[in-house]
């Protein structure tokens, strides 16, 4: 199959996957006994207000018809209106999504910068203190819960050292004095584009702890992966040959060995994006990050089904696309894999 055809094929499949997810979530959320009209009108409503809301929300129609309504508006890019906030779900999700995505990107950046060198050194200096440290770090990164790390980091860097902020995305006072002109929704990027340095510095400070917390899991994963691949590769004949030629060790490790060891690790990086998306849900609550996680938690607890569906669609889409991209990278990196 040709490359372009393959992408089209995968994209068509993706649409079916997403429609499937939407269908399941829609019907599950409607089967659970709850009264969206009661949520729509708020506390202490009158029966008239409830009836009015039922009509407004099409709740008196059969579920299948409601589903048709939903799909129809979805085709027009309309995710419906949140029952809890009365805002269009798409608007709510847009800002939440960029906040979460900024966090995830930062976490992945930290993970790659730490994990790859750590993995290489662990393999090169097998069973040394570096390796042991790397092992403990990796295992704890994978097994200890993210919220625990988050709280420990808050205790150290906010409470005791007082050098990093406790929570939030940017300081209120800084934002008031240096209004940020939002272009992309990524605060770091926007503040750079508009030359708003105080906001950039402040947003960066706010980003460090949650991103580090979120990075712990991928760090563990990638370090172990790189280490085991490197050990395998370092036993290969061509590496022995390189040693025999007396090539500098740095060149052997980072150029010849890592090149072959990194392919599987890149897959792990790709997949860990999906993991961090889930991890972000917890980390956001601890660091009061106004992202998807907080939004989803609220939506689920209050059975705000258009919002739950919106989050589901976004997350499902992200998953599907990350998988696709990972598969494509794999093909590009490893000539043995055919489409």
Partner 1 sequence: MKKELALFMLVITVMGVVASGCLSGQESTPTSTASGETSTPEKTTNVVIYGYGSEMITLDPSTEFSNSIVVLANVYECLVKYTPNGLEPWLATSWESNENGTVWTFHLRKGVKFHTGNTMTAEDVKWSIERTLRMGLGPAFIWDPIDKMEVVDDYTIKFYLKYPANLPLTASSAYGAYIMDSKYLSTIGDDNAIADWLNQGQDAGTGPYIMVKDKYDPKTEIVLKKFDDYWSGWSGDQFDIAVIKIVPDASLREQMVTSGEIQITRDLPLDDLPKLQENPSVKVDQTASYQELYAFFNTKKEPLNNKLVRQALSYAVPYKDIVDYVLHGYGEVAKGPIPKGMLGHFEDMDTYTYDIDKAKQLLAQAGYPDGGFKLVLTYTQGDQAEAKVAEIIKAEWKKLGVDVEIRPMNWEQQWALAKSDPSKAQDILMMYWWPTYPTPYDFLFNMFHCEPEVNFNLCYYCNDEFDKAIDEAATLEGINQDKAAQLYRKAEEILMEDAPAIFFYNPDDVYVYHKSITGFKDNPGYPQVVFFYDLHKV
CB 334 within 8 A of CB 326: no
Phi, psi of 302 (to 5 degrees): -100, 5
79 binds partner 1 (CB under 8 A): no
CA distances for 236 relative to 241, 243, 293, angstroms: 9, 11, 45
Residue closer to partner 1 (CB basis): 11 or 197: 197
Dist CA 300 CA 191 (whole Å): 33
- Site pattern 185..214 for partner 1 (x: CB under 8 A): -------x--xxxx-xx-------------
Residue closer to partner 1 (CB basis): 7 or 49: 49
Q: Residue 172 in 3-state DSSP?
A: helix
Residue closer to partner 1 (CB basis): 51 or 61: 51
CA distances for 172 relative to 114, 168, 199, 206, 255, angstroms: 31, 9, 10, 12, 46
1 binds partner 1 (CB under 8 A): no
Dist CA 5 CA 7 (whole Å): 5
330 binds partner 1 (CB under 8 A): no
86 binds partner 1 (CB under 8 A): yes
Which residues partner with 81 through β-bridges? 88
Residue closer to partner 1 (CB basis): 217 or 305: 305
- Site pattern 309..328 for partner 1 (x: CB under 8 A): --------------------
Tally Cβ neighbours within 10 Å of residue 288.
Answer: 14
- Site pattern 6..45 for partner 1 (x: CB under 8 A): --------------------------xxxxx-xx-xxxxx
176 binds partner 1 (CB under 8 A): yes
CB 102 within 8 A of CB 212: no
Give the interface segment with partner 1, choosing from 117-125, 136-144, 225-233, 299-307 (CB under 8 A): 299-307
Query: What are the tokens at 140?
Result: 């704890």
End-to-end CA distance of the chain: 6
Give the interface segment with partner 1, choosing from 133-141, 169-177, 220-228, 272-280 (CB under 8 A): 169-177
298 binds partner 1 (CB under 8 A): yes
Q: Position of tokens 């030359």?
A: 195
Phi, psi of 163 (to 5 degrees): -105, -20
Residue closer to partner 1 (CB basis): 308 or 320: 308
Give the interface segment with partner 1, choosing from 9-17, 84-92, 241-249, 271-279 (CB under 8 A): 84-92
In angstroms, how far is CA 7 from the centroid of its own chain?
Answer: 23
> Which residues contribute to the site for partner 1 (CB under 8 A)?
32-36, 38-39, 41-49, 52, 84-87, 92, 95-96, 154, 158-159, 165-169, 172-179, 192, 195-198, 200-201, 259, 262, 285-286, 288, 290, 294-295, 298, 301-303
């Amino acid at each position: 199959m040709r490359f372009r055809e393959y992408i089209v094929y995968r994209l068509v499949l993706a649409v079916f996957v997403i429609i499937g997810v939407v269908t399941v979530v829609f019907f599950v959320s409607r089967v659970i006994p709850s009264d969206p009209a009661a949520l729509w009108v708020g506390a202490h409503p009158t029966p008239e207000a409830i009836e009015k809301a039922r009509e407004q929300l099409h709740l008196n129609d059969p579920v299948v018809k409601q589903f048709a309504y939903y799909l129809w508006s979805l085709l027009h890019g309309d995710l419906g209106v949140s029952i809890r906030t009365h805002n269009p779900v798409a608007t709510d999700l847009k800002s939440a999504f960029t906040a979460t995505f900024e966090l995830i990107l930062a976490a992945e950046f930290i993970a790659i910068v730490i994990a790859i060198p750590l993995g290489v050194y662990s393999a090169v200096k097998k069973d040394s203190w570096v390796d042991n440290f790397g092992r403990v770090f990796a295992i704890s990164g994978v097994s200890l819960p993210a919220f625990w790390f988050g709280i420990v980091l808050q205790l150290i860097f906010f409470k005791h050292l007082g050098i990093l902020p406790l929570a939030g995305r940017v300081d209120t006072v800084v934002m008031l004095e240096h209004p940020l002109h939002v272009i992309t929704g990524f605060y770091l990027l926007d503040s750079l584009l508009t030359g708003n340095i105080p906001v950039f510095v402040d947003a960066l400070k706010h980003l460090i702890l949650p991103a580090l917390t979120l990075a712990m899991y991928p760090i563990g994963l990638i370090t172990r992966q790189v280490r085991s691949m490197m050990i395998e590769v370092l036993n290969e004949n061509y590496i022995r040959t390189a040693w025999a030629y007396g090539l500098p060790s740095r060149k052997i490790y980072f150029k010849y060995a890592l090149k072959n060891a990194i392919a599987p690790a890149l897959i792990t990086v790709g997949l860990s994006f999906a993991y961090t998306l889930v991890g972000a849900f917890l980390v956001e609550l601890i660091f009061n990050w106004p992202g998807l996680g907080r939004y989803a938690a609220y939506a689920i607890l209050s059975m705000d089904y258009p919002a739950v569906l919106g989050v589901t669609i976004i997350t499902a889409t992200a998953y599907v696309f990350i998988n696709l991209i990972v598969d494509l990278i794999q093909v590009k990196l490893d000539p043995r894999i055919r489409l």
